[in-house]
Chains A and B, each alone.
Chain A
Amino acid sequence: MKRLLLLLALAWMAPAQALTADEAKAIALGESDARIEALNKAIATADDRTAAFLQALADDVVKVAGDKVFIVRDGKGADPVTGAAVDVPADAEDVVSNNRMRSELDGALAALQLFSPDAALRRRAVQSLQKEPDEARLPLIEKAYAAEKDAGIRDQLGLVRAAVLLGSSDKGKRLEAARLLGGSRNPATKPLLVERLREEPEAEVKAALAASLRQVDAALAWGDRLGALFSGVSLGSILLLVALGLAITYGLMGVINMAHGELMMIGAYATYVVQGVFRSWLPGHFDWYLVAAVPVSFAASAAVGAILERGVIRFLYGRPLETLLATWGISLMLMQLVRSVFGAQNVGVENPSWMSGGVVLLGNLQLPWNRIVIVGFAFAVLAGMAFLIARTRLGLFVRGVTQNRPIASCMGVNTARIDTYAFALGSGIAGLAGCALSQIGNVGPDLGQAYIVDSFMVVVLGGVGQLAGTVYAALGLGILNKFIEGWAGAVLAKIAVLVLIVVFIQKRPQGLFAVRGRSAEA
């Protein structure tokens, strides 16, 4: 309604009056075909007054009396040509528009929006024009194309123009359009060319179309390949995040931690809580909540992990199968705990505004910011963990204890405390993974269950106790999964990957990077 009022106001002030009384009459009265013809003629020389009139027609507020046309809004009549208030005769009749007329009106209004000062409106207008290219709109499109400043919209408009030309009855125009489209990097071009190729009678145009199609295909193929690669890396980085914590608790410490998924879930819920705190107390800095959530989710999961280690797990070292059962029990209790506190439904975690949108690299390749951020985050966590394990005193102790506990103990290391620290570290990293997952998926009590099989697969495939193996396995699985997904669909890809892992483990039970040693038992 606001937009409409704006249009009306503009119409009031417009000095030039392209809409004439005859045009208004022709559009409002008579047979549909004639009205549509008049409509298309009118929009070629359209001004704001035309737009207001068409909007009125679309809103069913136009009346006619004899050969005079009125816009009647809120009981007040107005002359569509001058905009001046006039009295509407009592015997004025409503103008009725059938469905065909309506869709023409919508199209025409969309075309007129091509000149709107609002870029979003223009973009939408171009999109709706793209749906049904109409040669009658060509002059309008060309006018808009010449005037358009926004490169993205201009590209789209060019495409619409070419699409209209492709449908032209003039062979020369079709030929030109076919060649023009060959340079397009827009994925929408392809169906356009394919469709035209099917209908095209002229051999020469056909050849040009086929050549353009090949060009477009070649250009798009790279975008597709890179897109699949990126989504593979993105999936791989998520797998890496969910598996990194497990690489410590399972890989280094040998604890079959079935509650790993629930530690991630705790991280995700911690993020949710931080979001709530920012929303109520610091709404001005809402975008920064995620930065605050990172340490909080780490701390929350690490604290739970430390409690678990002290309370349950340390009694079970060296009994892997029992650990599996006990941690599974813990996972059930944590899940129920979250259900009791936050409810069984998923909770909403929002992306901060700086994570929405994406970077457009090619016509058909857009990288969403949240995925890019997660890839970066995964590698940052990896770097931090590698630093901690390889360069710090704590890392030295952890390595010492896991490699030779009695000797480490003899050297004065408090091995029990190191176990707790190491387990808390692994759990904290699971919390970080949960924080990242909250940005791309649902946060609910079942969040951990969805990733537990994946994370074990990654660690086992990488070779237990091998950090490098975990990295390669995560990225490899992610990319493999996405490429299989390209031709087999998501679920079949997942099944195929699981089967491949099972087969691979048969061949190399120690995983990608086996620990070399002399022990007869694995």
Chain B
Amino acid sequence: MDRAPSIVAAAATPEPVVLPAARPLLTRAGWTAFLVALVTVCALAPVLNLVVPADSPFHMGEYAVALIARIMCYAICALAMDLIWGYTGILSLGHGLFFALGGYAMGMYLMRQIGRDGNYKSDLPDFMVFLDWKALPWHWTFSDSFVATCLLVVLVPAAVAFVFGFFAFRSRIKGVYFSIITQALTYAAMLLFFRNETGFGGNNGFTDFKRILGVPLQTPSMRMTLFVFTGLTLLGFFLLARWLVTAKFGRVLQAIRDAETRVMFSGYNPVGYKLAIWTLSAVMCGVAGALYVPQVGIINPGEMSPANSIEIAVWAAVGGRATLIGPIVGAFLVSGAKSWLTVSAPEYWLYFLGGLFIVVTLFLPDGLVGLARRLRLAGAAALEAKAP
């Protein structure tokens, strides 16, 4: 049911072709904000957490550190979603899968780091002892090496996304079809990871982590290190995404989003562009998952439930698509509201989230950032009208 204006109408009013001007990576204000964020993450948060005494009102408690770290991981996912949905127009309902794949890769390493400190005092992870397995399955081969794990965190989501995307984009699956197939893919993976015999701990997943690189996870300094690292990763990915979308590459992506057929007629092959951004987006989610797992202390197949993937899309939609900063804001607001509401009024959380979906799609198609922009423009117009 296509209600777009007809081609005849569009042809009747030919518009002059205006090429978008090359944009700077960040404006002056943007750089300032970025620096503030950098300082906050690298200096302010550790000082507030480690140096400021616990009874001071400026002290940042364990709960706040854990919450912000978690939301920063979510924000990376939202950023990844913005690249693929906001800028390329491809709604993925499977980003939870990539997040979980990165998380599982890291989880396997953390499980091996437990060593013989598990309940069964065995070299094998507890759940394998419980299943009476005698040796590690083949896909655990590299799990004792941190370097290999870091590679896997990137390569596994990348490989899955590349293979899936290659076939999907080549046969020109797009729009809703693509969304639904990604959802099915995630759903299938969830069913697979729920199985005990696949060697991923079944429905309990991995938990009870003790240390990373030999350092205990539960010390304040370790937590702060992970926090800072997560923050830097988020900022780094933000700069990378910003660089991509301001470059020619990003403009081709937006052209694909707005009129893929015309892009093809102009001599571009959209498959390569889509595949590249899709794979990058998956890798970002994988890295977010890998950072998330040691800080939260658990990874299980629930992370792959369709609802989680859709929530990522909601962060992006609430904040404002195709703005990069919007999805990060959305992730902070929605997840923050979630952690507050699920504690204070658990029965209202779903009403709130559901209502948010509806309100945003009906009234805020550009999200909060779009709303802010509109208000600013309206304010400027009002000022102009007042001036003689």
Contacts and interface: CB of A to CB of B under 8 A. Distances in A.
Contacts of A333: 350-351, 354-355
A331 B351 CA distance: 10
A325 interface: yes
A5 interface: no
The DSSP consensus for interface residues of chain A is helix
A335 B349 CA distance: 12
B187 A317 contact: no
A324 B91 contact: yes
B151 interface: no
B171 interface: yes
Interface stretch (B97-105, B118-126, B246-254, B306-314): B306-314
A502 B3 contact: no
B177 A336 contact: no
A493 B358 CA distance: 36
Contacts of B261: 520-521
Given A336-B354, A402-B1, A460-B177, A498 B361 contact: no
Interface stretch (B18-26, B178-186, B375-383): B178-186
Interface string B160-188: 00001001100111111101110111011
Contacts, number: 131
A294 B177 CA distance: 32
Contact of A329 (B1, B185, B194, B355): B355
B4 interface: yes
Interface in A247-263: 253-254, 256, 258
A326 B174 contact: no
A453 B177 contact: no
A54 to B, nearest CB: 44
Contacts of B362: 312, 315-316, 326
Contact of A509 (B164, B177, B194): B177
B187 A340 contact: no
Nearest to A520: B261
A325 B357 contact: yes
B2 interface: yes
Contact of A491 (B176, B183, B194, B355): B194
Nearest to A344: B347
B357 A328 contact: yes
A175 B360 CA distance: 79
Interface string A292-324: 000000000000000000001001111011111
Interface in A337-378: 339-340
Contacts of A503: 167
B188 A495 contact: yes
Interface residues on B, range: 35 or more
Contacts of A452: 306
A339 B348 CA distance: 11
Interface of A: 253-254, 256, 258, 312, 315-318, 320-326, 328-333, 335-336, 339-340, 402, 405, 449, 452-453, 456-457, 460, 491-492, 494-495, 498-499, 501-503, 505-507, 509, 520-522
26 contacts: A253-B1, A315-B362, A318-B3, A320-B176, A324-B176, A325-B313, A325-B357, A328-B310, A328-B354, A332-B353, A332-B357, A333-B355, A335-B350, A336-B347, A339-B347, A449-B307, A452-B306, A453-B306, A456-B183, A457-B180, A491-B191, A491-B192, A491-B195, A501-B181, A507-B171, A509-B173
Interface of B: 1-4, 85, 91, 164, 167-168, 171-177, 179-181, 183-185, 187-188, 191-192, 194-195, 261, 306-307, 310, 313-314, 317, 347-351, 353-358, 360-362, 365
Given A325-B314, A325-B360, A329-B354, 12 more contacts: A328-B310, A329-B356, A330-B354, A336-B354, A452-B306, A453-B183, A453-B184, A456-B180, A492-B195, A499-B188, A509-B173, A509-B177
